[in-house]
Structure 1
Amino acid sequence: MEDESITVRTVLSEYESKRLLAHYDIPITREVLVEDRHRLMEAVEAIGYPVVLKGCSPNIAHKTETGLVHLDLKNEDQVLAAYDEITKNIIETENTDATVLVQEMVSGKRELVAGLTRDPQFGPCVMFGLGGIFTEVLNDVVFRVAPLEKSDALEMTREIKGHRILDAIRGMAAVDMDRLGDILMAIGRIGMENEKIIEIDINPLIISAGKPVAVDALMVLESPGD
């Protein structure tokens, strides 16, 4: 008889998702997963201020809306207060032990989104567009069927309406297009080589000193029986 108490996960946590991105040479934030205050301060010391603290669990999809993200923490008092609030919220809402992601604070005014969706007809399709709060507001995104060549990836970046954000603008350096193209190609490879992954969402992909960095990520897996 099948054990109904076994829960099959269909979502990877941010930490797990970004480990897979890093395996495909996609730049991610420096970060450490911690479960207590002692390990917390060790991680902060290793990463250096300012830091970001996030609640981390496969069940947490919208961390900001639930008070599980604290940005730009500059000292120990701020870090400990944020940690206590996050762990309290996780225990109350998830009824489980709290794990917290300690992350470097990546600065950049330009936010992009990149990812993947698995279309029933065409298979894995790479997505690219404007990220952050603009993703849902402007819906300025484009898609390409994987696998991608570098020319495909670069064409995608010029097809969004807001493509000028990638150029040198208002004192900010132009985006490293070669690196951005590599990221989109790598996302396509993830989709081609991991059939159980049906969705990837990297949002935001922040441009810091011209370089794209995956600051947040989520991966959705195929449900059993699909």
Structure 2
Amino acid sequence: MRVVIASCSVDYSGRLDAHLPRATRLIMVKADGSVLVHSDGGSYKPLNWMSPPARLAEVDPDEEDRETGVVARWEVSAARTDDRLVIRLFEVLSDTAVELGADPGLTKDGVEAHLQELLAERVEVLGAGWRLVRREYPTPLGPVDLLVRDESGAAVAVEVKRVGGIDGVEQLTRYVDMLDRDPLLTPVRGLYAAQQIRPQARVLAEDRGIRCVVLDYDAMRGMDDPSSRLF
């Protein structure tokens, strides 16, 4: 993990164009290739970012940049698209690199862990003829909750949440990308399963070709009594 605090401007080009004028910001460069630019307020979300896989190149500023006070220029390129992030550094206040090592992963709460267990036992709720390959299937970025095969035998990576947000979509996107590199699994699709999926997360997931499934926890536990329902 590299953490840089600097006066910088940021330009993003790709599916949309965005510009952040010069200001003091926090830049995070992670070992998985992601680059995130944060401000000191607003929310926990970055102002702009590049998801992995990506390549960061530190290049010398051109004459035009030097005239405006730029001391360094970072160019971050996505591996599979034309998306590009250009960060111009005017003053570096802090630059620290720390090796964090392997992360043990998130400890799920009781409901989320039980959802994963139930879905592994009842994977057919995702589709007729679907079968479980393995729970906690390992990837270089950590284990994906479930790896399953659909009725045609195609591999599907499943991330299970109690409440599905954008962070979970980003997490699943990284898992799918890593698993898709395995010649024994490719092509790999993603499926986001949760009791509740936030609207923004659903939009992002569907934009990335990830199917969303809302899980009925009580029904999966066998506690849903159809005779007690009006409809």
TM bin, normalised by shorter chain, reads under 0.3
Larger Rg: 2
Greater helix share, structure number: 1
- Give me the TM-score of the superposition, normalised by structure 2: 0.22
Greater strand share, structure number: 2
